[in-house]
Amino acid sequence: MKVLVLSNLYPPHYVGGYELRCRDVVEALVGKGHEVVVLTSDHHLPGVQEAPSRYPVHRVLRLNGYCGKPWRGIWKLRHVERHNNEQLRALLTEVAPDIVHVWNMGGLSKSLALTLQGMQVPTVYDVSDHWIARSLAADVWLAWWNNANLPVWSRLARGLVTALGWRRRWQTVAPTNPRSHVQFQRIYFCSQRLKDLTVEKGYSVGHGGVIHCPVDTMLYDGMPKPAERPVKKLLYAGRLAEDKGVFTALKAMKLLKGKFDGELSIYGRGEAAYEARLKEYARTNELRVTFHAAGPEEMPKVYKEHDALLFTSEWEEPFALTPLEAMSSGLPVVGTTTGGSAELFRHGQNALTYRSGDSWELSQRILQLVSHPEWRFQMASCGRKEVREQYPLAHIVTRIERYLEETLSCWRPATLPPF
């Protein structure tokens, strides 16, 4: 197949697991002989250099209100909408893909989805965060043209430009249809929970598939620590943000003072003010907690240097990669079951779970790991076996590849309603 991949970010300039998974799938598809072209934004991380690529990556789209980019009002935003849609159309003409594989559209013009629909290009959506359930309705461009509850001056301006025929002209540049016109004929989610949440928000995606996130089991490959080895080094890895429950981990460590003779390593970055609060709490309470940063290439070694993972997320995680990596590396996991994590963890069998935000219960789970070495070893072994059997990258990529191929055989072109 000739595949055009559309994503808001693409490594090495990325934020989290969504973009890393996109890259892993792209490179696997290229390795299978498919021709892939990537269309993404011009966002760059300072000091990050790009390595040569086996496939073209076009970093030409512009973001709005995302990754530090400013929110633009409608007057300036129209230039972004025009630019992004022109870039998409030009690449569709140049590449002539068999199919478009859309990934994260957070911060991107959602009118691009309407353009793809209007051009009747076979399109598959990979949804691994809440950009449909929470962000589609907030798209500034589509909201300005369609929402009834805008300020009076905005509604007057919209009426004027519509009467002057400008809206009709914009339809051929950057479509202004309401979000309800976006059709997700072929779509899959990274978890059943994320799919259910999107349906609950009123989107017609109940027909969508579920393809869980993969883990590179060759890269993340470790054996469970022997039962006789004590738990001394706990690990947290991920964003440092309120919704990730890092403070819950620190509070649990405070409760464990005098009961747990170990330490917690925190790997991750966040906003400077939040990081400072975490470090001040650890210092003030004299906790055995250290803070670190590591790139993806360093994480396999980091997992092997620790005895257990604390997965403390307190938001509706779609389907997190960190527990998969840790379990594949042989670590026992103590985690919450918010979001898609409930589809991975089975308490007492392949992990220990606790109520989100409950630092006391988390502390008790840590003590269980420490005081039941045989149980800990069995859980780690079970988790490793399940992850390596059900979620290996090669297996998940094959499922995605089949979904793309099935799309080509069952695709029914959908017209964009006139507006």
165 and 27 in a common domain: yes
Give residue 295's pLDDT: 85
382 and 402 in a common domain: no
247 and 210 in a common domain: no
What are the tens digits of pLDDT across the range 125-174? 999 999 999 889 999 999 999 999 999 999 999 999 999 999 999 999 99
Give residue 248's pLDDT: 98
Assigned domain for 285 exists: yes
What are the tens digits of pLDDT across the range 347-366? 999 999 999 999 999 999 99
Tokens, residue 223: 């054996």
Domain span including residue 63: 2-214+395-410
What are the tens digits of pLDDT across the range 87-126? 999 999 999 999 999 999 999 999 999 999 999 999 999 9
Give residue 344's pLDDT: 97
Query: Among all chains, which residue has been given the structure tokens 């989805």?
Result: 113
309 and 166 in a common domain: no
Assigned domain for 403 exists: yes
Give residue 395's pLDDT: 96
Q: Does residue 419 have a pLDDT over 80?
A: no
Give residue 209's pLDDT: 98
Assigned domain for 224 exists: no
210 and 91 in a common domain: yes
400 and 296 in a common domain: no
Give residue 17's pLDDT: 85
- The average pLDDT across 372-377 equals 96
246 and 185 in a common domain: no
Contacts of 205 (CB under 8 A, 6+ apart): 132, 184, 187, 189, 195, 198, 199
Give residue 38's pLDDT: 98
What share of the chain has pLDDT > 90, as a percent? Answer: 93
Give residue 51's pLDDT: 86
Tokens, residue 118: 């209007």
Mean predicted lDDT score pLDDT of the chain: 96
What are the tens digits of pLDDT across the range 196-249? 999 999 999 999 999 999 999 999 999 999 999 999 999 999 999 999 999 999
238 and 200 in a common domain: no
Give residue 109's pLDDT: 96
Give residue 418's pLDDT: 81
Domain count, the chain: 2
Assigned domain for 12 exists: yes
Give residue 415's pLDDT: 85
Give residue 15's pLDDT: 86
Assigned domain for 416 exists: no
275 and 208 in a common domain: no
Asked if residues 104 and 125 have their Cβ atoms less than 8 Å apart, the reply is no
What share of the chain has pLDDT > 70, as a percent? Answer: 100
Contacts of 180 (CB under 8 A, 6+ apart): none
399 and 387 in a common domain: no
Assigned domain for 225 exists: no
- The average pLDDT across 6-15 equals 94
Give residue 198's pLDDT: 97
CATH of the domain at 306: 3.40.50.2000
Assigned domain for 282 exists: yes
Assigned domain for 81 exists: yes
Give residue 347's pLDDT: 97
**Side-chain half-sphere CA neighbours of 179 within 13 A:** 21
372 and 323 in a common domain: yes
Question: Angle, to 10 degrees, between the axis of helix 359-371 and the axis of helix 373-390?
Answer: 100
- The average pLDDT across 306-330 equals 96
Q: Does residue 9 have a pLDDT over 80?
A: yes
245 and 210 in a common domain: no
What are the tens digits of pLDDT across the range 270-315? 999 999 999 999 999 999 999 999 988 899 999 999 999 999 999 9
Q: What is the Cα–Cα distance from 154 to 189, expressed in whole angstroms?
A: 36
Contacts of 13 (CB under 8 A, 6+ apart): 43, 44, 45, 48, 59
